[in-house]
A = this chain, B = another copy of it.
Amino acid sequence: MLLENLSYPEVVQYLRDKDTILVPVGSVEQHSEYGIIGTDFIAAEAVAREAGMQLGILVAPTIHYGVSCHHMGFAGSASVSPVTFVHLITDICLSFAHHGFMRIIFVNGHGGNRNAIATAFQEVKMRGAAGQFALLSWYEGLQETALIEELFQGDDGSHATPSEISLTMLLRPEVFAGKKTAPGSLQKKEYCWPLTREEMRSVFPDGRMGSASWLASADKGEQIMALAVRTLVEKIEKLRAVALV
C-alpha cells in the first residue's frame, strides 16, 4: 500500500472509503561510528510501512532530509533549516489535504524534526485545512518498556541508540561490515538542549548521546521492530477512533 506505486485513479478509488495516509519522515545525519547516516529514515519508513500494511493504510514517500543542524559537525550529515522544514511540511500537508485525505499522520524517526512538524500543523490549521494532522515518533515510549530495559539495561540513551541501530541491522544487515563494534565509554552527561554543531561535537565527541550503541544486533532489532509496529498500530487506531469535526 505505497502511494508511490499507485496510479492516480487508484488513489481516487482509495479515497472512496478511506481517509488516512502515513508519511514517514527521517533525517540524514551521523549516528556515531556504530550506526549509519540513514538510520532515522530507514527505521521510520520500515515501521510505517509495516503498520500501513497491517492496517490497509496508504504510506506516502518518505521525507528523507530533516532538521539536523546540531549534527553538522559530523561528516555526511545534511540539514534542512528549521523554518524551511516548517514550510516543507506545510506544503506536503496541504497537498494531501487538497485531495481529501482527512487523517495525515507523520511517522517520525528523528527528535529534531518534532518542533518544526508541530509548528507546520499550526500553519496548516491557520490556513483552514480541515482534518487530523498527527505526529507519531516510532521510538516514543519505547525506552520505558520492559523489552528495551531488558535489552539495553538503561543504556539506550538518546542518539545512536542501540534500539535504532538494531532496527537498521535487521533491515540492512549487509551494510554493517566494517562498522565499529567495540564498546566505547559511557558517561551520562547533563547538557542544555538544543546545541550548536560545535557544542554537540564538544559534548559528545563521537556522536553518541549516552547510548551503548555496541549492544545493537539484528536479533534485538527483530524484537524491537515487532514492538514498535504493534505500538504504532495501536496509536494509529486510537487516532482514527477520534471523530473528525
How distant is the Cα of A5 from the Cα of B28 in the complex, in angstroms?
10
Q: Cβ of B84 and Cβ of A37 under 8 Å apart?
A: no
Q: Does A172 contact B (CB under 8 A)?
A: yes
Q: Cβ of B72 and Cβ of A37 under 8 Å apart?
A: no
How distant is the Cα of A82 from the Cα of B91 in the complex, in angstroms?
10
Q: Cβ of A8 and Cβ of B28 under 8 Å apart?
A: no
How distant is the Cα of A177 from the Cα of B121 in the complex, in angstroms?
36
Q: Does A18 contact B (CB under 8 A)?
A: no
Which residues of B sit under 8 angstroms from A82, Cβ to Cβ?
86, 119-120, 122-123, 126
Q: Cβ of A78 and Cβ of B65 under 8 Å apart?
A: no
How distant is the Cα of A34 from the Cα of B9 in the complex, in angstroms?
10
Number of interface residues of A (CB under 8 A): 97
Q: Cβ of A36 and Cβ of B4 under 8 Å apart?
A: yes
Contacts A/B (CB < 8 Å), 19 sampled:
A4-B37, A5-B36, A7-B34, A8-B75, A65-B88, A69-B126, A75-B99, A75-B100, A77-B99, A78-B92, A80-B91, A81-B87, A82-B120, A114-B118, A116-B119, A116-B122, A133-B194, A191-B242, A192-B242
Interface pairs A-B: 4 shortest CB-CB:
A4-B38, A11-B76, A132-B192, A78-B95
Known: A28-B60, A63-B65, A116-B122. 13 other contacts (CB 8 A): A2-B38, A4-B37, A5-B37, A5-B38, A7-B30, A10-B178, A11-B37, A61-B65, A78-B92, A78-B96, A82-B123, A86-B86, A192-B239
